[in-house]
Amino acid sequence: MSSVGVIVSPHITEKAGVLEKKGEYIFNVYPRTNKQEIKNAVEKTYGVKVTKVNIINIPAKRKRVGKHMGHALAVRKAVVSLQKGHAIELMPR
């Protein structure tokens, strides 16, 4: 899989901002990607050295829309740790 088809978007929240100070970044990724593909995509896209990748799978939830039941989509997130001295500028300061 190419690096374009791995990372959906950076996951920007308050918690992600706290982790960013520790050198960890959170990305929404496609469901069928593995850790090695995510590592290669981040290194190629942002030009940094990745030391560790953790994956979080959030299952789909059933949601009510009026009288009909639907579902919220499942989400897969990757927490990427970078080598000391490397950083990614996700949000302009």
Digit-by-digit pLDDT tens for the chain (93 residues) are: 566 679 999 999 999 989 999 999 999 999 999 999 999 999 999 999 999 999 999 999 999 989 999 999 999 999 999 999 999 987 666
CATH of span 3-82: 3.30.70.330
Q: Give the domain ranges of the chain.
A: 3-82
Please state, in angstroms and as integers, the Cα–Cα distance from residue 58 to each residue in 11, 25, 32, following that order.
Answer: 14, 17, 13
- Report pLDDT digits (tens) over 1-26: 566 679 999 999 999 989 999 999 99
DSSP string, 28-70: EE-TT--HHHHHHHHHHHH---EEEEEEEEE--EEEEETTEEE
The alpha carbon of residue 79 and the mean position of all alpha carbons in its chain are separated, in whole angstroms, by 6
User: Model's pTM, two decimal places?
Assistant: 0.84
